[in-house]
Amino acid sequence: MKYKSKGLLLFAYGKEGELYTRKWDMKALTKNLSSNSEKEDFQEMFHTHDIDEKDLIDGKKFLENVRNRLITNDNGTLSHIFVDGYESNLGLISSDFSQGNFLLTENLFAELCEEYNIKAHWKNSVNEKLDTPIIYQTKKIVLFACGENGELYHVKPEDVQKSNNCDIEKEDLFDGKEFLEDVRNKCIIDYDGSLEHIFVNGFESNLGLASNDFCQGKFLVMEDVFEELCEEYNIKVDWAGR
């Protein structure tokens, strides 16, 4: 039986270390679709997963397996995390594990497991190598993660295998401050393109941006946090307009 999520629930990081959530149920996600058949097709395409509910791992059990090294980066993929039945952007980072989008440290993940009904889908997989031209070269990756007291961590995991070749012309990258200004001025909105990559000091990162009219990326931060990071780091954004 296929698992149907209720919609989308995203977490974002605030300036004082607080966590924000934004939730869209299926009614909100399909409000611009005119017919019931279109709405059903949308749910089938984006929120119906080829997953049996019995194969989902309870969040606490998933964390325990990571801590006991029964689940590692090398033996599978965290394909989905559902929070109260909604597909989410949550991820988990520990000394030997780093998967997902909005990365949380172990202790914070444990706290959220007490607050929400968290289910993880873990599957074995083989990652295919990318075959892309060498145009923009990155220095591997830097990951941002949120700690239990609201602290923001940046880590450069040595064991993460990531292609450092990106099919991007350097002059096509936005400066982080310019990108943020365009989002604030609504020159860039969710519906006219996609956030492909964000580079931090030359490292590919998991950063994303959340504002009133924009919500894209993996580790979502609010506008004022993004602005502070632009002062601290050299941030470049790859935006693909439609």
* pLDDT at 8 (0 to 100): 93
Let me know if residue 80 belongs to a domain.
Answer: yes
pLDDT tens digits, residue range 4-35?
899 999 999 999 999 999 999 988 888 888 78
3-state helix, strand, coil in the chain (%, to 5): 25, 40, 35
pLDDT tens digits, residue range 50-74?
898 899 999 999 999 999 988 999 8
* pLDDT at 164 (0 to 100): 52
92 within 8 A of 106, measured Cβ to Cβ: yes
207 within 8 A of 223, measured Cβ to Cβ: no
Domain count, the chain: 2
CA distance 134 to 140: 14
Let me know if residue 131 belongs to a domain.
Answer: no
* pLDDT at 136 (0 to 100): 44
For residue 184, give its domain range.
136-241
CA distance 148 to 129: 35
Let me know if residue 73 belongs to a domain.
Answer: yes
Let me know if residue 109 belongs to a domain.
Answer: yes
Determine the 3-state secondary structure of 137 from DSSP.
Answer: strand
CA distance 121 to 81: 6
Are residues 79 and 167 both part of a single domain?
no
Let me know if residue 228 belongs to a domain.
Answer: yes
Are residues 107 and 26 both part of a single domain?
yes
CA distance 121 to 33: 29
Residue that is last in its domain, among 123, 149, 169? 123
2 within 8 A of 49, measured Cβ to Cβ: yes
Residue that is last in its domain, among 100, 123, 146? 123
CA distance 45 to 187: 29
Mean pLDDT by 10 residues, the chain (242 residues): 88 95 89 79 77 93 94 91 96 92 96 97 54 44 89 74 59 92 92 90 93 92 96 94 66
Written as one string, the DSSP assignment of 170-237 is: GGGPEEHHHHHHHHHTTSS-GGGEEEEEEEETTEEE-EEEEETTEEEESEEEEHHHHHHHHHHS-EEE
Residue that is last in its domain, among 96, 123, 150? 123
173 within 8 A of 237, measured Cβ to Cβ: yes
Are residues 40 and 104 both part of a single domain?
yes
Q: Which residues contact 140 (CB under 8 A, 6 or more apart)?
A: 156, 160, 162, 164, 203, 204
Let me know if residue 128 belongs to a domain.
Answer: no
* pLDDT at 64 (0 to 100): 95
Are residues 163 and 66 both part of a single domain?
no
